[in-house]
Amino acid sequence: MKNKNWGKKAEDILTDDFLTEELQNMNQSRNLLIGDEYKLANDILDTVSENSGTFDHSQKELLGKRITHTINAAKRRTLIIRISTAAVFLLLIGLTTFLTMNKEPEISIFARNNQSVPLTGNTRLILSGKEEIQINSDQSKIAYAGNGKEIQIDSSRVQQVVEDDKMVYNTVVVPYGKRTQITLSDNSSVWLNSGSKLIYPARFATDKREVYLEGEAIFEVSHNKERPFHVITHDVEVKVLGTVFDVCAYKDDKTASTILESGSVELKYNSNSMISQSKVTMVPGMMAVYDPNEKTVKRTQVNTKLYTSWREGYFIFERQSLGEILKKISRYYNVSIQLNDQSLADETFTGPLDLRNSATQVLEIIAELINAKVEKVDNKIVITRI
């Protein structure tokens, strides 16, 4: 039966002669079923055993103070242990959350293992990373059926095996000088610019929609609140429910940019934080530029047409430097452009350029405004100040 004195505190036990004697007898019988307070009192009793005997009142007061001090110290140690345990527990939870949030998506792993795809020749559709279909047209269209098994490529149709329990990734490679429009299995549209590569599932999983982009693309995403659409690049990830936006993430650019035309997107990027990725919520008309070296994002309000008009077949520039303009034209037409005078790179240009014209015709329009001339020398277009 439980001892009625077990509810007493250790200091009460040690200042009661009868209970102290009982404690000694219990200790001699090595009874291991005594309560925690008895155990604490027993430890204290061992430390003052050289003064065993009957204590007078003053000694009991002194002993009571020493006992109280010892108990308070023990309580502090217990509190420290509990706090330390809680801290370790929270650290483990944080680490688990960090690893979960920063787990590399399966499509990124697939992209890393299939990097050796040259951006030359014809546009190519690669099925499951194996079978390759050549597309001869400069402006091609690819459209998927809802089941992912039927693919319309311009005027031809191909079939693909898509198993219900297996994710099948396809890749479209658009060389410099060519473009393509892709209608995905969820009816989302993607306009893929020159020198770009898009990896995507032939049919999306039931819980998520993820694609991987290298280069530049405009996305018009079909709305599905239960299945957000994710555009993953080397540096950033864009999460969207349904909207129109442009992502530019060429490997040879120093920054990656996202321009939101309509809707709302969430931009995730690697920051200087050690805990997790940082997030930026974008609103229409916003451009977010990510610097991978600084690990920062700069947000500005822009005219989105300056960045998305290439989908309609023309460029619009607004006080943009010739150096940046030539980079876009070079990619679009797959031509090499040389400036004989490097100071020309700082000249600015404002206005539209019709991309139905040849590269030389487009450059002559710019050259006329900045007092320069355009010549074709061997396989290059050379611009010289007059």
pLDDT digits (tens, 9 = 90+) for 41-65: 666 666 555 554 555 556 556 666 6
Q: Which of 102-111, 143-152, 247-256 has the lowest mean pLDDT?
A: 102-111
292-303 pLDDT per residue, tens: 999 999 999 999
Q: Is the pTM of this model over 0.85?
A: no
The domain made up of 106-298 is a member of CATH 2.40.50.100: no
Range scoring the smallest mean pLDDT among 101-115, 185-199, 354-368: 101-115
The least confident of 57-61, 123-127, 137-141, 364-368 is 57-61
Averaged pLDDT, 314-335: 94
Are 152 and 182 spatial neighbours (Cβ–Cβ below 8 Å)? no
Average pLDDT, the chain: 82
Q: Which two tokens stand for residue 55?
A: 């204590």
Q: Report the pLDDT value the prediction gives residue 6, as an integer from 0 to 100.
A: 52
Q: Minimum mean pLDDT among 13-27, 157-171, 285-299, 300-314: which range? A: 13-27
Whether residue 100 has pLDDT greater than 50: no
Dist CA 188 CA 200 (whole Å): 12
Q: Which residues pair with 246 in a beta bridge?
A: 218, 259
Determine what percent of the chain is predicted with pLDDT higher than 70: 72
131 has a pLDDT exceeding 50: yes
Instruction: Please state which CATH class domain 313-385 belongs to.
Output: alpha beta
Q: Which two tokens stand for residue 91?
A: 């650290």
Beta-strand ranges (E) seen in 236-366 are: 236-240, 244-249, 256-262, 265-269, 278-282, 286-291, 296-301, 314-321, 336-339, 348-354
Strands (DSSP E) contained in 69-148 are 123-127, 131-135, 139-144
Q: Which one-letter DSSP state was computed for residue 271? A: -
- pLDDT of res. 379: 87
Give the list of residues 6+ apart from residue 191 with CB closer than 8 angstroms, or none.
Answer: 179, 180, 181, 217, 218, 311
Distance CA 64, CA 318 (A): 85
Q: What is the predicted pLDDT for the residue at 98?
A: 43
If 0-12 CB within 10 Å is exposed, 13-18 middle and 19+ buried, where does residue 218 land?
Answer: buried
**Residue pair 141/154 in contact by the 8 Å Cβ criterion:** yes
Q: At what angle do helices 359-369 and 322-333 cross, to 10 degrees?
A: 170
Nearest to 328 by CA among 301, 303, 349, 299: 349
pLDDT for res 59 = 57
- Band of the pLDDT at 93, cuts 50, 70, 90? very low
Count of CB atoms situated within 10 Å of the CB of 246: 21
Structure tokens at 120: 């030359």
Q: What tokens appear for 85 in the block? A: 């345990």
CB-count burial class (<10 Å; 0-12, 13-18, 19+) for 308? middle
Average pLDDT on 351-369 reads 93
Query: Treating both helix axes as pointing N-terminal to C-terminal, what angle do 17-28 and 36-47 enclose, rounded to 10 degrees?
Result: 90
Question: What confidence score (pLDDT) does residue 113 get?
Answer: 78
